[in-house]
Amino acid sequence: MSTPTKLYEGKAKILYTTDDPGVLLTQFKDDATAFNAQKKGTIAGKGEINCTISQHLFQLLERQGIPTHFIDCPSASTMRVKAVKIIPLEVVVRNIAAGSLCQQTGLALGTVLNPPLVEFYYKNDALGDPLLTIDRLRMMALATPEQVEQLRSMALKINVLLTDFFQRCAITLVDFKLEFGMEGEQLLLADEISPDTCRLWDQADTDPDRRVMDKDRFRRDLGGVEQAYQHVLERVLAQITPV
Ligand code: UDP
């Protein structure tokens, strides 16, 4: 067996090659960044927690007909995934106004968005991941018009499935970010789905700070980051039906 080679190290994950060119190994790290890496830290246990939560959410989505890059988890913090060509877009779905949406539009935190909002951001750290218009997206040929429509409809279907799942965990899915890749002609959901990439509010608490169970605890120095991630994991595991 050849030694895995590091392909790429990102802010929260390291990607390695494997013996199979169609398979990559992702190592989830405890490192955390926010505000385009201007704020850095570590969240103890995050790698294992995010890998395990992502595993269960990918499996749940696969069972409901959403193709994902997930293969399996050789350890608690590593995931084998199908090698895909990542589309350089961050697809954000919002059910409730928070974060940059409030800052940029003046909408009050907590405003319910019905229908949910789907947004496309250009995945480019040097440019600070700017929000794109559909026309800019087309002009830059970041995705074909057909792919854009497919991304939108997959994102909305994923939103229905995840909202329903988190509801059963007594957690409100406020918003989340998805990334997709192409395996040949097939569009696959890639990256991760975790408290790093979702806003999750505890339904048992209405206090705007105490209810936060996601990376906003780190971004906003709310404390209790590790515990919040651990609680999300516990609730996800309690709801997962054995396959
Ligand atoms: N998000 C992410 N990675 C990014 C930007 C956003 O995972 O690079 C997630 C974020 O955690 C939230 C959603 O996408 O769940 C919407 O984020 P927003 O645009 O409000 O940006 P933020 O306020 O996090 O800067």
Distance from the alpha carbon of residue 91 to the mean position of ligand 1, in angstroms: 10
Q: Does residue 214 have a pLDDT over 60? A: yes
For the CA of 176, the nearest atom of ligand 1: 15
pLDDT of residue 114: 98
pLDDT one-digit tens code per residue, 96-128? 999 999 999 999 999 999 999 999 999 999 999
| Among 145, 153, 89, CA closest to 116 | 153
d(CA 26, CA 199): 23
Give φ, ψ of 6 to 5 degrees: -70, 120
Distance from the alpha carbon of residue 97 to the mean position of ligand 1, in angstroms: 12
Beta-carbon count within 10 A of 147 CB: 16
Tokens 């339904």 sit on residue: 203
pLDDT of residue 65: 98
To the question of pTM greater than 0.85 for the whole model, the response is yes
d(CA 174, CA 172): 6
For the CA of 174, the nearest atom of ligand 1: 15
User: Can you spell out the DSSP letters for 75-131?
Assistant: ETTEEEEE--EE-SEEEEEEEE--HHHHHHH-PPTT-EEEEEEEEEEE--GGGT--B
For the CA of 102, the nearest atom of ligand 1: 20
Distance from the alpha carbon of residue 173 to the mean position of ligand 1, in angstroms: 13
Distance from the alpha carbon of residue 10 to the mean position of ligand 1, in angstroms: 16
- The average pLDDT across 151-165 equals 98
pLDDT of residue 242: 63
Mutate to test the pocket of ligand 1, among 175, 189, 213 (most ligand atoms within 8 A of CB): 175
pLDDT of residue 142: 93
Distance from the alpha carbon of residue 128 to the mean position of ligand 1, in angstroms: 12
